[in-house]
Structure 1
Amino acid sequence: MSSRRNFLQKLSIGLSAAALTPLSSPASVFPDLRKPVKQLRVALMGLGGYAGIVARAMKECKLATLTGIVTGTPSKIATWKSNYGIPDKNVYNYDTLHTIANNPEIDLVYVTTPNSLHHKHVLQVAAAGKHVICEKPVADNAQQAREMIAACKKAGVKFYVGYRLHFEPHTRELVRMRKAGEFGNIMHVNNYMGFKIGDPTQWRLKKALAGGGAMMDVGVYALNGARYATGEEPVWVTAQESKTDMVKFAEVDETVTFQLGFPSGVIASCGTTYNFNNYERVYLIGDKGFAELSPAFGYGPIQGRTHLGPMNQPLITHQAAQMDGLADCILNGTPDPGMTGEEGLKDMVVVDAIYESLRKGGEKIYLYKK
């Protein structure tokens, strides 16, 4: 398959932080505002495959609406204007992006460009005075993430990262149960996410655009999942890499396993790959019960079970729930479920340490002083 996006869709269809707030019903995902006084007006930046998924999902939204686009590919403009009713005045390219500051019909820009462009583009959007959400990983490294957070604070705009699963019902139920003590003391976590990547010429295999390989692209799912499964921040990491195709993966990592040590003594054993499929799970074990999500990270349907039986949570369109949820945060001041730039920074601190461990032959890297 040629892209991670297609893989996530097809994988799930074929199968029948720690700050997350509880989800009690589908209405908690889609705010029950049939006639909202105001909607969050969104422009998509970078019109690749994922932007199309978000745009189609936003047709379900109540509080968010697509009003603009930013693209470096003029040939895409006519189709997007026709499909989503985008007027000429709300169409931008990367050279004219700064003029979006003068457009009252756009409140937020969603950056879906390749990973290594996130830093540059978020800084540009912040300078234009617009709220911004960017896809994960938030940046190439923690230092870039800090600069992005600082720029958004200076500009007085909100900064979010596309952790769509933080609005997903099974994920939220797992976190609710963990916070309620229904698993007892968490004893172990085992998470992994990966797929067999296709087209060897795609940007995800070019470090200058991707920032890294499987660890950067989909390993962050397993990492973020370990953090919300434990409700803790890791204090040390170790990591190991295997590479079977030195040509295809000349610039980026292929398969990485990593371990996270938490203050309570819990160890999370995690993995990520670009070399094989059927590798997607969140599994936590407590002294009173367990939870498993598998599939856990794709676009749906997510499936879950616990020691009490099937989770039986609602199946939703993740991107619609995310955009309505973020609109609710911005417009109505509802609590953010761990999607801020600071949340992205926490993951990048760990990703940096994982790559450091790889460079040092698997050495244990401490994230904080012992």
Structure 2
Amino acid sequence: MEHRRTFIKKSGLFLAAGFLPFPNFLGFSKKDKLGVALVGLGGYSTHQLAPALQETEYCELRGIVTGSPEKIPQWQEKYGIPDANVYNYENIHQIANNNDIDVIYIVLPNSMHAEYTIKAANAGKHVWCEKPMAMNAEECRQMIEACEKNRVKLAIGYRLQHEKNNRIMMKWAETTPYGPIQEVKAAAGFYSNNPGWRAVEKMGGGAMYDMGVYPLNTSRYTVGREPIAVSAKSSTSRPDVFGEVDETMDFTLEFPEGVVANCRTSFGEGMNNLEVTCSDGSYYLQPFQTYSGVKGGTSDGKILEPFGKNQQAVQMDDDALSILNNKPMMVPGEEGLKDIIVLEKIYESAAKNGQKLKI
């Protein structure tokens, strides 16, 4: 039991928003909000994060950083962003002089995460970075070091660790209400005909980097321990589209005491399920990682109803409260690093035709 508690505490998962002090008792008004600048105005910023920021209680969209000048007028008109809060990738360092911006949210292709997280930290701003954290463990460590050096906080955008039913999975990893966990099955994927940069190796493309971190991260917090070995096989059924990267990755994580997580991710098929088999019962989430409607049930008939709140808004408010209350981030850089260490071993095993590798 103690090793589970240690995992959860080290991962920062015990800092649920419900346990954070209410801000009004800490000397600042509910009117005070953190100014957020989105870096990269692609689909996720456009359709998820910017709308979610309108639903947050402790954040406000105040700035944008983009390499596409044609997008600027629309964003300014829609969200009231002044000229002084508009930047490009060359002058992002000038945000250091802008007191309107407290947080820089990195929403760029995976290969750019480390570079712009470090630039944001060097500008003296707190950093939220989308998953996966970076291309490799060394980049992750550089990001963590830059934020520590500049005394700013770093959070990784694992929205599911803020979502109610996935947090129940974390709790049950510790309390084991259905007996010790024996096996986890986790799968996340969708069919893509137009993957864009996600099919380009040098930009951090591939199903494992994009969707695979969901079953990987979820397996870790669902078991409540760190994996000790991994084996994996990658495949591509459409080499004309995914000639450079993995279209599908199957991987098995081995945990202490014989616990196994069998995982699959793909750009070639839709899947979205988490199943947990224990000694005295079982439970599941299906879907477990959609933007809304996460739901599930248990072998004894309990129903896990959807949360009903915007996941990205909850995530950003949780992270804002961690900054405002000077508390550790719920999903800090160290959590992203742990996934990338395993992810590198997954690719190494796939390159060796599924050879089991110790982590």
Decide: shared fold, TM above 0.5. yes
- Secondary structure of residue in 2 paired with 1:47: coil
Q: Pick from 269, 274, 277 the counterpart of residue 282 of structure 1.
A: 274
Indicate whether 1:145 and 2:140 are aligned: yes
CA drift of 1:218 comes to 0.3
Aligned-partner Cα distance in 1 for 2:19–2:249: 34
State the partner residue of 1:216.
209
Q: What is aligned with 1:352?
A: 344
Asked if 1:65 corresponds to 2:57, the answer is no
User: Where does residue 74 of structure 2 map in the other structure?
Assistant: 79
Q: Distance in 1 between matches of 2:284 and 2:19?
A: 22
3-state DSSP of counterpart to 1:187: strand
Task: Please tell me whether residue 310 in structure 1 is matched to residue 303 in structure 2.
Answer: yes
- Alignment partners' CA distance in 2, 1:120 and 1:347: 19
> Shift of the alpha carbon at 1:155?
1.3
Alignment correspondent of 2:151? 156
- Amino acid of the structure 1 residue aligned with 2:346: I
The one-letter code of the counterpart of 2:42 is G
2:332 is aligned to 340
Match of 2:235 among 242, 246, 270: 242
CA RMSD of aligned residues (A): 1.8
Q: In the alignment, what sits opposite 1:7?
A: none
Offset of residue 318 of structure 1:
0.5
TM-fit CA distance, 1:282? 1.1
Gaps of 5+ in 2: 1-6
Which residue identity lines up with residue 292 of structure 1 in the other structure? Y
* Contact 2:53-2:61 at 8 Å conserved across structures: yes
SS of 2:191 mapped into structure 1: coil
Give the partner amino acid of 2:141: R
Find the aligned partners of 1:330 and 1:303 in 2 and give their Cα distance: 30
Instruction: State the 1:177 CA deviation.
Output: 2.6
Q: Please state how far the C-alpha of 1:117 moved relative to its aligned partner.
A: 0.8
Q: Secondary structure at the match of 2:280?
A: coil
Q: Which runs of 5+ in 1 are unaligned?
A: 1-16
Q: Is the 8 A contact 2:37 2:101 kept in 1?
A: yes
TM-score normalised by the chain length of structure 2 = 0.91
Deviation at 1:29, TM superposition (A): 9.5
Shift of 1:180: 2.0
Q: Which runs of 4+ in 1 moved over 2 A?
A: 17-23, 27-35, 333-337
**Structure 2 counterpart of 1:28:** 18
Identity among equivalent pairs (%) = 43
**TM-score (norm. length: structure 1):** 0.89
User: Greater shift after overlay, 305-314 or 190-199?
Assistant: 305-314
- Where does residue 291 of structure 2 map in the other structure? 299
- Partner residue of 2:3? none
8 Å CA contact 1:205–1:252 kept in 2: the answer is: yes
Q: Does structure 2 retain, via aligned residues, the 8 Å contact 1:33–1:62?
A: no
Q: Is the 8 A contact 1:31 1:62 kept in 2?
A: no
Query: C-alpha deviations, 1:59-116, integer Å up to 9, x for none?
Result: 1111111111111111111111111111111111111111100111111100001111
Partner of 1:249, secondary structure, is: coil
For 2:133 and 2:207, the matched residues in 1 are separated by 15
For residues 163 and 18 of structure 2, the distance between their equivalents in structure 1, rounded to whole angstroms, comes to 11
- Structure 2 match to 1:100: 95
Report which structure shows greater RCO (CA 8 Å, sep ≥6).
1
